[in-house]
Every structure is written in C-alpha cells, then in structure tokens.
A and B are shown apart, each in its own frame.
Chain A
Amino acid sequence: MSDQTLFSIFFSAMVVNNFTLAMFLGLCPFMGVSARVETALRMGLANIFVLVLTSLSAWFLNTFVLEPVPYLRIISFIIVVASLVQIVEMVVKKLSPVLFRQLGIFLPLMTTNCAIFGLAIFQTNRGYGLVQGLTFAVGAGLGLTLALVLMASIRESIEFSDVPGLAQGTGLVLIIAGTLSMAFMGFAGLL
C-alpha cells in the first residue's frame, strides 16, 4: 500500500509528472490530434473516461485475480485494455449515437495509446488502492487534456505564421512540446 495523499497523487499526475510532457505517455494523440482545440478537448475527455474505467478494472484484476501470479500482469492488462476499449465503443454506440459520432475514430485509437496501459502499470507498481487509483486516473486524464489543449491552441495561433519550410510538421511540434515541458517543470516542488 502507498501512503501518498490523494491531493499529492492528483497534482503529481496532472502537472508535476504530467503524463505527456514529463513521462511521454500518450504521444500519438498528442502529435496526431492536436491541430484543433475542439478535437483536442474531445480526445482529452474520451481519454479521462477510458482512464477511469481502466483504473477500476486494473484494480479489480490486480486485487482479486492476479495476486498469486503477479508475472501475468503485462499480458492480462493489455488484454483488459484492448477489450475495454471495444466494449466502451459498443456501449457508447448503442446508448448515445451522437456521442459516438463525436468521439469517432478516437475510441479505437485508444488501444495503442500508451497512456492507458501505462496508467494500469504505474498504478500497480506504486501499490495504489481503489480510491488512490481513481484519483490518479482523473489527475492523469486532466493532465493529458491540459497538454493536448495547450498544444492545440499554440498550433492554432501559429498556423499562419511564416515558419521556415524545413521546420514545419513534427519537428516544430516537438520543439513546442519541449518548451511546454520546460514550462511545466515550474510545477515541480509544488507538493
């Protein structure tokens, strides 16, 4: 068991050790869907949703099934994440076709999103309980959303700037990300 307070878990996951900017998790959507603020926001919200579900199921699996066989963690977690994404997709499609259309391709993309799998692994390695895990998931999700939206708004505002040809595309995004990451270093020591 970990004795970290919920407050410290939450802020650590959200800003100090931001999943994207400090731990490099969830970089694919960060590079891919950060061109528009609106899509970025939606992607972030979809992420929070799946993160919370993952945290819940990883905790159940870990407490009730994997206790005697901790070495099967990687394989069980990845199966759970993959099936969870499929199930969420089906349920959302059935219950709210509007939401499904809005989330669109973002849901299936989630399977190969390291943030989701990373959350399950980090939560287990640090020995978080149920409530701690959920706090961690919400914090991490908000952190991802924050990073995505910040990046998208920067990209939107430099869209028409005169950037040298060779710097357009991923190179530029990475350098902006580096600057953002440096800015987030200012949060260290907050806890």
Chain B
Amino acid sequence: MSDESVTEESIEPQADSEPVATEVSTFRLVATLAVAGTLAGLLIVMMNQHTKPIIDKYKAEQLRKAVYEVLPGVDRYSTLYLVNEALSLTLPEGVKESEYKRIYAGYGGDGQLGGVAISRGESGFQDVVQIIFGFDPETGKLLGMKVLDSKETPGLGDKIFKDQSFVEQFFARPDTPLLGVKPGAGKGLSNEIDTITGATISSKVVIDIINHGLEIWRPVIDKGIPSVPSESADVEVTP
C-alpha cells in the first residue's frame, strides 16, 4: 500500500507553479509543447484522412436506408434545403451546409414525387427523441416513421421503436394531424394512433414530433418542391 499514496498524490497538478528558478529555459518549455502539439496534430490529420471517407460513407448509407424505409416505393431522393423560406436544391455560395434545415424528397421510378421525409427531434421522457418520418404532401397522409435516436427507458419507453405493432401504425397511411388514443379507446377515426401502455409520454412525443413537424414544414412544402432533373438525384452526405 505504500506506493498507492504516491499514485494518488501525484495526479493532482501542481497548484502553485510559481516560476521558481530552474535551469530549463522558457524557450525549451514552449518548444517541447510546440513539437508535441505539431506531432499530435499531424498524426490526427493523417488518421482523419484515412477514416473520414469510411465514416461519411456509413453516415450517408444510414441516412439512405432511413429515407427509403419511411418512403416505401421510392427509388431515389434528393436533399432540399430551406433557403429564404423556400425549398432549394442548392445552397448559396460560401455558406455552411450544416446551418441549413433540410428535408428529403423521394421520387418513384417514373420520376413522380413519392413523398417527403423529415427528420426532427423533441424532448422525450429522458432526452431528445430523434425520428424521421415520410409523408405525402398531396394527400397529407403519413407514409412511415423510424426512430433514429432515443434514450427512452429500456423496457418501457423504448417500445416506441422495439414494439412493431406501435411502429406499424405509422405505416398504415393514417391521416394527419395524428391523434394519440389509449389502446382500445379509439373511435375508429383514420388519424388515430394507439399509444403504448406504460409509455404514454414517449409515444405521445413521437406523435407530437410528427404533428409539429408538419405544422412547420407544410407551408414551405406547399409553396412547391423544385423539380429535379432525373440524372442529378444523387445521395447527399449530411452530418
């Protein structure tokens, strides 16, 4: 146990590092840190060049899968940015891509608009719940929903993505805005979603995210979706 005290005491940085007289020159101190910093930077940059393509590819792939999942029957999609309250395929020159809100427009094989996918999050029971959902702007019907990120309670709140009978309701083309009802207490309306017993808040959050998302995006989408030349429907990488 004698060397344990050595370990513990020496972790703490020296509090009073008054410039005591030493043989080591300030230049040497700065030089050491500068060399170490440069080497560290170089190593990280090299590693980043190697891993970045792999990471970006994975992220794009995840997004692509999610969009196709919530927009059944769609062959390709393009990213639309919200620029000056209207949807645009391109961004103004010299701006940061990450600062713009975006939605994804999916097209069927015949080039017809198959639906629009929106990704957004709101505070759930524990933390922010992030979902992506697809809907048809013409009929206002919901096409699909997928939970992207959630820290809801295991065994209760996490049923919003683990309980298939809950998730499937969002694929049954219900009318919007959605209305959450207790299981079995519905009146058979076409916009009803049965909430999960024991996870009322979590399931209501999913419904709220979709309803609020539609309130925000409907006016913009109704202004018109820019048509896409068929060959430029590339998958775009989003952070």
* Per-residue interface assignment for chain B, residues 67 to 90, with 1 indicating a CB less than 8 Å from any chain A CB and 0 otherwise: 000000000000000000000000
Contact (A189, B15) CB under 8 Å given A17-B126, A67-B96, A75-B40:
no
* Per-residue interface assignment for chain B, residues 86 to 98, with 1 indicating a CB less than 8 Å from any chain A CB and 0 otherwise: 0000000000100
In contact, B13 and A108 (Cβ under 8 angstroms): yes
Sort chain A's interface into a size bin. Answer: 20 to 34
Contacts of A12 in B (CB 8 A): 123, 127
Please, how many residues of chain B have a CB less than 8 angstroms from a CB on the other chain? Answer: 21
Whether B21 is near chain A, meaning CB under 8 Å from some CB there, is no
Contact residues, B1-49 vs A (CB, 8 A): 11-15, 40-41, 44-45, 48
Whether B201 is near chain A, meaning CB under 8 Å from some CB there, is yes
Determine the distance from Cα of A111 to Cα of B123 in the docked complex, in whole angstroms.
Answer: 31
In contact, A72 and B44 (Cβ under 8 angstroms): yes
> How many Å from the CB of A111 to the closest CB on chain B?
6
> How many Å from the CB of A136 to the closest CB on chain B?
13
Determine the distance from Cα of A17 to Cα of B120 in the docked complex, in whole angstroms.
Answer: 21
User: Could you show 20 A-B contacts with beta carbons less than 8 Å apart?
Assistant: A1-B99, A3-B120, A12-B123, A12-B127, A16-B127, A17-B127, A67-B96, A71-B44, A71-B45, A71-B48, A75-B40, A75-B44, A82-B13, A105-B12, A105-B15, A107-B15, A112-B11, A126-B128, A189-B201, A191-B123
Using a CB–CB distance below 8 Å, which chain B residues touch chain A?
A: 11-15, 40-41, 44-45, 48, 52, 96, 99, 120, 123, 125-128, 153, 201
Enumerate the 7 nearest inter-chain pairs by beta-carbon distance, A residue then B residue, closest first.
A191-B123, A108-B15, A71-B48, A8-B123, A189-B125, A189-B201, A188-B125
Using a CB–CB distance below 8 Å, which chain A residues touch chain B?
A: 1, 3-4, 8, 12, 16-17, 67, 71-72, 75, 82, 89, 105, 107-109, 111-112, 126, 188-189, 191
